[in-house]
Amino acid sequence: MLTLQKIPRSIFALLFILLASCSVQEGNVDSGNRLGILHYGNGSEPQGLDPHVVTGVPENHLVRALFEGLAVKNPYTLEPEPGVAERWEFSDDKRIVNFFINPRARWSNGDPVQASDYVWSWRRALHPEMGNPYSYMLFPVKNAEAFAKGQISDFGKVGVKALDERTLEVTLNEPTPYFIQLMDHYSTFAVHPPTIMKFGASTDRYTKWTREENIVGNGPFVLTEWKLNRRIVVEKSSTYWDRNKVSLNGVVFYPTENSVTEERMFRVGQLHYTASVPLDKIPIYREMENTPYVQAPYLGTYYYLLNINKKPLDDIRVRKALSLSIDRDKLASTVLQGTAVPAYSITPPNTLGYDPPKLFGYDPEKAKQLMTEAGFPNGKNWPGIEIIYNTSESHRKIAVAIQQMWASTLNIQVTLSNQEWKVYLDSVDQMDFDIARRGWIGDYVDPNNFLDLFISSGGNNSTGYADGIYDDLVLRKATKASSRELRYQIFHRAETMLMQAMPIIPIYTYTSKHLINPSVKGLPSNLMDSLNLKYVWLDNLKKEER
């Protein structure tokens, strides 16, 4: 008979069996180093793998493992280097570029990659029915924008032609210095036409061609397993033209949307690499010897949008006073724990050699003086304004700090309002705010990607700022500049105008933050936080060295 006294012993016996059965086995990192498999925290479950449908960082990593662009970014220099195209040539007026397809470039089913695949794919990427959010990446191509907006329906008028199987001729509207960089953006990638057509119409978003049993790509890896919300496994492609350079035998991507869990997975050796690091863990990792924490400048700016159509922000003196009374150094070192660089302009510093103007700093006295001139001496007559931000602890902390800085320097009342993500997006879109937090991550390394946000008709402007001279500088004068130096001077002028008008308050430049196991090599930090798996290899270090 089971008596009360016997129960604890039997429970312990059961527990012992249970624990013995799940005693710790070889972790992912150990087995990965042995087998050449990288275990990669990828942030979240991707929306999909169709290069002409998806947007987002996790999708970018996956799509660029499975597909390759005409040119790819070198992860060390970010300069373009040959991808599917073995070389390219510009015409003298820089309006025509010919891409010469590598004869060894193959789809994963063995078909050769041809110039006509690009013509077919770009028609797909630009077609209005496709609803590709990144179709604008191809807008430097002649008539591409008109085709994407349904103004012309004849794709033959768009500036892309297959001269022969291996030569792709692209005609540009204007000389576009960053055009080759765009060839590494997934929205400009070719897809395999027969595979797409096998599962539906060319512009159908809703087909099964990206499933592991169907997908055909041309990248260094092929998809072998896709378990929703669990993992995506890719292995080295046997048809990739540069396969000898690929060291990894495979990569397992994990949808690690919870950064705290991700950090724990890293700690117990389940991951080689994390997509992010929880802010409160950073000081602990920083103090470690041989720390796996890696932080680097990132091509993105965190800023506040000011609605300059509303009082009192329609007064430039008020906008300047608000900006001058933010102590960005203090914010970066305290609230942001040294993970951000103070920003005084929209374009991040050293964007491929471009350095933005710095017109102001922290100047509380000048801020007070401007507020007095604007009719709000020591906060008197201040009508009150509101900062909106999407619900997030870090946005809240920043807003609280800025609220306090404004209260102590200018003696003004500012209320904070956190909104659920889509509500916040709707408020910004409708310009239903006084001040709204915003972040912008560059799609390519060029000041144009930041400065064209604030052209009068810009969909991301959301401030009410409109200046014909600014538009002319960014849209026309810069594109016609004969040299990079001249072009940067024009951008500098435009950005100076922008920061003098102050429709935004730049706060900080982002940094990328990851935990990377020391056995991972060939994964350098760069401004785009760009991953090129072709370069990555695993050093089979002894456990104690890790």
Burial of 309 (0-12, 13-18, 19+ CB in 10 A): exposed
Nearest to 183 by CA among 141, 236, 124, 241: 141
Least separation in angstroms between residue 406's CB and another protein is: 25
Note whether 390 and 424 are within 8 A (CB).
yes
Nearer to another protein among residue 427 and residue 489 (C-beta): 427
The 3-state DSSP class for residue 326 equals coil
Nearer to another protein among residue 45 and residue 327 (C-beta): 45
> E strand or H helix at 231, and its extent?
strand 231-236
Give per-residue burial for 52-88: e unless 16+ CB within 10 Å, then b.
bbbeeebbbbbbbbbbbbbbbbbbeebebebbbbbeb
φ, ψ at 529 (rounded to 5°): 50, 40
Least separation in angstroms between residue 401's CB and another protein is: 22
Nearer to another protein among residue 171 and residue 460 (C-beta): 460
Q: Which structure tokens are listed for 150?
A: 């349904």
Least separation in angstroms between residue 205's CB and another protein is: 5
Least separation in angstroms between residue 420's CB and another protein is: 7
Count of CB atoms within 10 A of residue 524's CB? 15
What is the C-alpha separation between 219 and 242, in angstroms, rounded? 9
Nearer to another protein among residue 206 and residue 213 (C-beta): 206
Nearer to another protein among residue 99 and residue 226 (C-beta): 226
Nearer to another protein among residue 211 and residue 380 (C-beta): 211
Nearer to another protein among residue 131 and residue 338 (C-beta): 131
* Sign of the dihedral through C-alpha 234, 103, 157, 479: positive
What is the CA 322 to chain-centroid distance, rounded? Answer: 29
Nearer to another protein among residue 192 and residue 534 (C-beta): 192
What is the C-alpha separation between 351 and 115, in angstroms, rounded? 32
End-to-end CA distance of the chain: 53
Q: Which structure tokens are listed for 113?
A: 């990659």
Least separation in angstroms between residue 328's CB and another protein is: 22
Nearer to another protein among residue 254 and residue 285 (C-beta): 254
Note whether 493 and 473 are within 8 A (CB).
yes
What is the C-alpha separation between 463 and 515, in angstroms, rounded? 37
Least separation in angstroms between residue 525's CB and another protein is: 24
Q: What is the binding site for another protein (CB under 8 A)?
A: 1, 4, 18-19, 21-25, 45, 47-48, 50, 53-55, 128-133, 135-136, 148-150, 205-211, 227-231, 254-258, 260-261, 264-265, 267-268, 270, 420-423, 425-427, 429, 438-439, 458-460
What is the C-alpha separation between 129 and 3, in angstroms, rounded? 73
Least separation in angstroms between residue 196's CB and another protein is: 12
What is the C-alpha separation between 503 and 101, in angstroms, rounded? 45
Nearest to 245 by CA among 421, 499, 72, 420: 72
For the chain, count helices (H), then strands (E). Answer: 18, 18
Note whether 376 and 412 are within 8 A (CB).
yes
Nearer to another protein among residue 139 and residue 362 (C-beta): 139
Least separation in angstroms between residue 141's CB and another protein is: 16
Least separation in angstroms between residue 199's CB and another protein is: 9
Least separation in angstroms between residue 514's CB and another protein is: 18
Nearest to 85 by CA among 123, 113, 60, 52: 113
Nearest to 407 by CA among 438, 385, 392, 391: 385
Nearer to another protein among residue 50 and residue 529 (C-beta): 50
Least separation in angstroms between residue 263's CB and another protein is: 10
Least separation in angstroms between residue 245's CB and another protein is: 31
CA distance to 304, 319, 355, 394, per residue, from 331 (Å): 14, 19, 22, 12
Nearer to another protein among residue 224 and residue 378 (C-beta): 224
